[in-house]
Chains A and B, each alone.
Chain A
């Protein structure tokens, strides 16, 4: 019997390639093709302006320039605004940009003109020679300015409000009014961004002989890009192939599509009859892809003497930037997922999604959850401080209990389905976390450190994450006559280890050797029906689909093998690619089964002779039965009724330097529950990466816009992504596995988990060290120093008093 691979730490097969520099990314493609052309984009240097004239006369004089496009050169669907991908009834004033700006620009970085030249150097030289005349408009920068609405981003969007959405379960305001205790909090989270190592990139090749377009894009959805390219360029879907090669990270930003360049590159390739490449540079990525996180929250909470939340009323304002291509996904997630593992008796949430003259917002790993977790966990800490109770005790009081699943919140989630948690055991997770971080021993440690003149604090934060959102994913499993198994699933891969994790599922389900399985992702030629990789959904969706498709292939293999071995299917087992009659020597390998599955007229090698017309089949029946197909294949789709909810809890111990206000991480602990683990090493890798990104978001990274809408830190010199020296050397991880009942493997998503509680957990620990409330994140030493000055006259003991 084959050893079960599901649940074991199988080393990632992709790492050999990646670590040896053999990855093939979009920018690596067609580099040997002398006909390849390169694109560069003229981007708005102003945050808000009307374009009165664009003069490209000097551009075509530049040697090596082939073409330049502005809005006036676009026709038909290309002249229409880019799609609003996820409409919502409350998004009453959704706006999207044009592929190239028409009349007005609304953020620094918005695409205005597109130049194609023999190389990127020449293309940039040409861009520098385009002359644009602007009428400057006052920009709207930041949530305060957007709310004040003294100026409008879009003239036809009153108050800069794109959407206002409200949900309520019970009567929160009445419950708060009647509650024995109440607190009010103002909580602020700043902008950050995904910043994957590889920026955006697209290559397109038009084959005039076959009228066929091939597009390679660094995207999280090749099927999405395909649909957009076909629609915008007026091509039949069947004429467009989109392939996602290796992708150097996405973290959410590459789920948005189509980017202007994803349409302009294919347009240029078709127009010029030569392949065209666009590779985004780092500055472009900062100013013309997408950001996230900026929200301001007002919280009112009413609770009893135990800290039980009787009513929670949250209002927040979400900065979605200049346009809304990705709809309201981020604020909807905040508004629903801030509940975490808790069950407030009454809950109301209302948000406004606001326009500003800054880069657009699309989901960034965590996608609104880090803000929601920050809001809820800060609230839990404030209640604990007010009541003088241990922070874990107040949380326990509010937990949904293990016997309450499925738990319905009475709200609608981001996928339009009811917000219903499928499984979890929050008390068990908390017990594990307390043990892992040493929660109960912390006061001794604090005293020990204080004796050395050192200041330390501990914090914890809990979250629940809806993962594996629909609508579906599919898989196709093909057992070749060699016995090798080729599997295709349509969603894309940007470093998650799908080659490994998916192959583990196939090997187990089908009974084949792991080495014989090859996974293809993100190639519309192999699997045209797919959604994409986002929302921690790949393992749940494609993993389940691959399992189901493997079962179908297995079923067929057993049927054919039973006939060949003259045995009952029930007596057969498959291991290491060989079908055996249990307890006998009688066997047939899957490669031979594959041969038999495909009746042949022509023998092309020794193996295929066995399937030719004089070798197999009952002469009285059609070679392929009416309800059958040739080939040993299985295809299936997985489409769940609703999302599955993973959860986790993080704790951190920090040291704050009493003199310099520097913040040092002493210990970081994670308890994580994503149901059954396919590959614990990959899950822990996801957690490590998420925590690192979370450390960045909490302590280092921010988008520093000035009043005029210029991004002051559009480089990795000034946007402080943490180095390996800034993230914890070790992260203590413990797993709990409460399987999901919603899919055949009992799995939940794990991709975003590590980053969600960061702002909350660091704020809690710093607050615990310093003795005054931390209400805005991220926080730098300079800001901590300012807070110390602000609170200098208030002794630490008085802080809790202060918040009453």
Chain B
């Protein structure tokens, strides 16, 4: 469990990091390392170079404004989770982050790193997709913004080019009249979910006008399902778009069952949350 040899670069400027990635096709970006380092140690990945971005300036921010939450590439999960402002503007962030692994991993792992790792069993890619957020990426060719809907290409595969670095993620604020909820079932506390579900609903005058659900661990890529027209059987609608699979921890049938159990609960919680938020707004 020792990595194969690799070159190591720890640039002090983003341009330097981007230049290194551009000239070294076998290079990988190292941020929190919570996924990459185990892959290296088990020799499941053998990049020719690691470009460690931990010394880059100005990437550790969690900035919050009325539009939403902007999370820099070096902001750790724990940092985002601890931000009361972020939780206020977009409550789903904290709801989901508390399910991301364990405190020690959250202390090191980065939220943006988790997004571009593009694991459909991870919470944050699905959350970005459900909230219709985006990721800003940089390369020697310049910068671009990738909407969440265009970020995930396949299992553990993002649409980022090899030489691009995700520098910031944007999670939009919770709109007025909207509510969110999250629940997941895992074998042990902090494990990858067997099934995770998040909901975001928008209400007008207490009535649901838009309802969308996001799922963890029941598909190859983060899946979001619009159930606005299927509020009486949201799980049925969702399952048509999901691909629950069997692994050593659960059968496909059990995962499908958990989708059926969790979906109405989470949807109801989100509706409740929306009404609560609306009531709070009216008060203040």
Which of A's residues lie within 8 Å of B, judged by CB? 120-121, 124-125, 128, 281-283, 659-662, 700, 704, 712-713, 715, 717-718, 720, 722-723, 725-726, 780-782, 785-786, 789
Residues of A within 8 A of B190 (CB): 723, 725
Q: Is B7 an interface residue (CB 8 A)?
A: no
| One of A283, A722, A725 near B42 (C-beta < 8 A) | A283
Chain B residue at minimal CB-CB distance from A704? B248
21 contacts across the A-B interface (CB closer than 8 A): A124-B2, A283-B1, A660-B258, A662-B185, A700-B188, A704-B248, A715-B42, A720-B191, A720-B249, A722-B188, A723-B189, A726-B188, A780-B187, A780-B249, A780-B250, A781-B187, A782-B250, A782-B251, A782-B254, A786-B254, A789-B253
Chain B nearest CB: distance from A490 CB in Å?
33
Complex formed: what's the CA distance from A715 to B185 in Å? Answer: 21
Known A700-B187, A700-B188; contact A128-B4, beta-carbon cutoff 8 A: yes
| One of B2, B187, B257 near A720 (C-beta < 8 A) | B187
Chain B nearest CB: distance from A410 CB in Å?
43
Residues of A within 8 A of B258 (CB): 660
Query: Are A125 and B188 in contact, CB atoms less than 8 angstroms apart?
Result: no
Complex formed: what's the CA distance from A713 to B188 in Å? Answer: 15
Complex formed: what's the CA distance from A785 to B256 in Å? Answer: 11
Chain B residue at minimal CB-CB distance from A661? B254
Complex formed: what's the CA distance from A723 to B3 in Å? Answer: 27
Interface core residue of B3, B4, B5, B254 (most chain A CB under 10 Å): B254
Chain B nearest CB: distance from A412 CB in Å?
39
Complex formed: what's the CA distance from A531 to B249 in Å? Answer: 40
Proximity string of chain B (1-44) to chain A, C-beta cutoff 8 Å, 1 when within and 0 when not = 11111000000000000000000000000000000000000110
Complex formed: what's the CA distance from A661 to B185 in Å? Answer: 11
Complex formed: what's the CA distance from A124 to B253 in Å? Answer: 41
Proximity string of chain B (222-264) to chain A, C-beta cutoff 8 Å, 1 when within and 0 when not = 0000000000000000000000000011110110011001000
Chain B residue at minimal CB-CB distance from A789? B253
Residues of B within 8 A of A722 (CB): 188
Known A720-B191, A785-B257; contact A121-B2, beta-carbon cutoff 8 A: yes
13 more CB-based (< 8 A) A-B contacts, given A128-B4, A283-B42: A125-B5, A128-B43, A661-B254, A700-B188, A704-B248, A713-B248, A717-B191, A723-B102, A725-B188, A726-B188, A780-B250, A781-B187, A785-B254
Chain B nearest CB: distance from A281 CB in Å?
4
Residues of A within 8 A of B43 (CB): 124, 128
Chain B nearest CB: distance from A182 CB in Å?
35
The tally of residues in B whose CB lies under 8 Å from a CB in A reads 24
Chain B residue at minimal CB-CB distance from A721? B188
Residues of B within 8 A of A659 (CB): 261
Residues of B within 8 A of A128 (CB): 4, 43
Complex formed: what's the CA distance from A256 to B1 in Å? Answer: 24
Query: Are A781 and B191 in contact, CB atoms less than 8 angstroms apart?
Result: no
Residues of A within 8 A of B251 (CB): 782, 785-786
Complex formed: what's the CA distance from A717 to B41 in Å? Answer: 14
Chain A residue at minimal CB-CB distance from B252? A782
Residues of A within 8 A of B189 (CB): 723, 725-726
Residues of A within 8 A of B4 (CB): 124-125, 128
Residues of A within 8 A of B185 (CB): 660, 662, 781
Interface core residue of A660, A700, A726 (most chain B CB under 10 Å): A660
Query: Are A120 and B2 in contact, CB atoms less than 8 angstroms apart?
Result: yes
Complex formed: what's the CA distance from A662 to B254 in Å? Answer: 11
Chain A nearest CB: distance from B192 CB in Å?
8
Query: Are A782 and B188 in contact, CB atoms less than 8 angstroms apart?
Result: no
Q: Enumerate B99-148 residues with CB–CB distance to A below 8 Å.
A: 102
Complex formed: what's the CA distance from A660 to B3 in Å? Answer: 40
Residues of B within 8 A of A661 (CB): 254
Query: Are B250 and A720 in contact, CB atoms less than 8 angstroms apart?
Result: no
Complex formed: what's the CA distance from A283 to B191 in Å? Answer: 19
Complex formed: what's the CA distance from A659 to B261 in Å? Answer: 7
Complex formed: what's the CA distance from A585 to B63 in Å? Answer: 79
Query: Are A723 and B249 in contact, CB atoms less than 8 angstroms apart?
Result: no
Chain A residue at minimal CB-CB distance from B254? A782
Query: Are B1 and A282 in contact, CB atoms less than 8 angstroms apart?
Result: yes
Residues of B within 8 A of A782 (CB): 194, 249-251, 254
Residues of A within 8 A of B5 (CB): 121, 125
Complex formed: what's the CA distance from A789 to B254 in Å? Answer: 10
Complex formed: what's the CA distance from A726 to B2 in Å? Answer: 30
Residues of B within 8 A of A715 (CB): 42
Residues of B within 8 A of A726 (CB): 188-189
Complex formed: what's the CA distance from A281 to B257 in Å? Answer: 38
Chain B nearest CB: distance from A723 CB in Å?
5
Residues of B within 8 A of A121 (CB): 2-3, 5
Query: Are A720 and B254 in contact, CB atoms less than 8 angstroms apart?
Result: no
Complex formed: what's the CA distance from A712 to B253 in Å? Answer: 20
Enumerate the 9 nearest inter-chain pairs by beta-carbon distance, A residue then B residue, closest first.
Answer: A725-B189, A281-B1, A782-B250, A782-B254, A704-B248, A121-B2, A659-B261, A785-B254, A124-B2
Residues of A within 8 A of B102 (CB): 723
Chain B nearest CB: distance from A371 CB in Å?
22
Complex formed: what's the CA distance from A524 to B190 in Å? Answer: 44
Query: Are B191 and A660 in contact, CB atoms less than 8 angstroms apart?
Result: no
Q: Enumerate B129-187 residues with CB–CB distance to A below 8 Å.
A: 185, 187
Complex formed: what's the CA distance from A155 to B187 in Å? Answer: 41
Complex formed: what's the CA distance from A685 to B189 in Å? Answer: 23
Complex formed: what's the CA distance from A632 to B102 in Å? Answer: 55
Chain B residue at minimal CB-CB distance from A699? B187
Residues of B within 8 A of A723 (CB): 102, 188-190
Complex formed: what's the CA distance from A662 to B258 in Å? Answer: 11
Complex formed: what's the CA distance from A782 to B42 in Å? Answer: 29
Complex formed: what's the CA distance from A713 to B187 in Å? Answer: 14
Query: Are B188 and A720 in contact, CB atoms less than 8 angstroms apart?
Result: yes
Chain A nearest CB: distance from B253 CB in Å?
7
Chain B nearest CB: distance from A727 CB in Å?
11
Query: Are B248 and A786 in contact, CB atoms less than 8 angstroms apart?
Result: no
Complex formed: what's the CA distance from A789 to B2 in Å? Answer: 45
Residues of A within 8 A of B249 (CB): 718, 720, 780, 782
Q: Enumerate B170-218 residues with CB–CB distance to A below 8 Å.
A: 185, 187-191, 194
Residues of A within 8 A of B261 (CB): 659-660
Chain A nearest CB: distance from B245 CB in Å?
12
Complex formed: what's the CA distance from A124 to B189 in Å? Answer: 34
Residues of A within 8 A of B1 (CB): 124, 281-283
Complex formed: what's the CA distance from A780 to B246 in Å? Answer: 14
Residues of A within 8 A of B187 (CB): 700, 720, 780-781
Residues of B within 8 A of A281 (CB): 1
Known A128-B43, A659-B261, A786-B253; contact A712-B188, beta-carbon cutoff 8 A: no
Complex formed: what's the CA distance from A107 to B190 in Å? Answer: 32
Complex formed: what's the CA distance from A127 to B23 in Å? Answer: 30
Complex formed: what's the CA distance from A781 to B261 in Å? Answer: 14
Chain A nearest CB: distance from B97 CB in Å?
17
Complex formed: what's the CA distance from A712 to B188 in Å? Answer: 18
Chain B residue at minimal CB-CB distance from A784? B254
Complex formed: what's the CA distance from A715 to B2 in Å? Answer: 15
Residues of B within 8 A of A718 (CB): 248-249
Chain A nearest CB: distance from B5 CB in Å?
7
Interface core residue of A120, A659, A722, A725 (most chain B CB under 10 Å): A659
Residues of B within 8 A of A712 (CB): 248
Chain B residue at minimal CB-CB distance from A702? B248
Proximity string of chain B (66-106) to chain A, C-beta cutoff 8 Å, 1 when within and 0 when not = 00000000000000000000000000000000000010000
Chain B residue at minimal CB-CB distance from A724? B189
Chain A nearest CB: distance from B80 CB in Å?
22
Complex formed: what's the CA distance from A121 to B194 in Å? Answer: 35
Chain B nearest CB: distance from A389 CB in Å?
35
Chain B nearest CB: distance from A453 CB in Å?
14
Complex formed: what's the CA distance from A269 to B1 in Å? Answer: 23
Chain B nearest CB: distance from A39 CB in Å?
12
Residues of A within 8 A of B3 (CB): 121
Complex formed: what's the CA distance from A781 to B42 in Å? Answer: 30
Complex formed: what's the CA distance from A248 to B249 in Å? Answer: 28
| One of B2, B248, B253, B254 near A781 (C-beta < 8 A) | B254
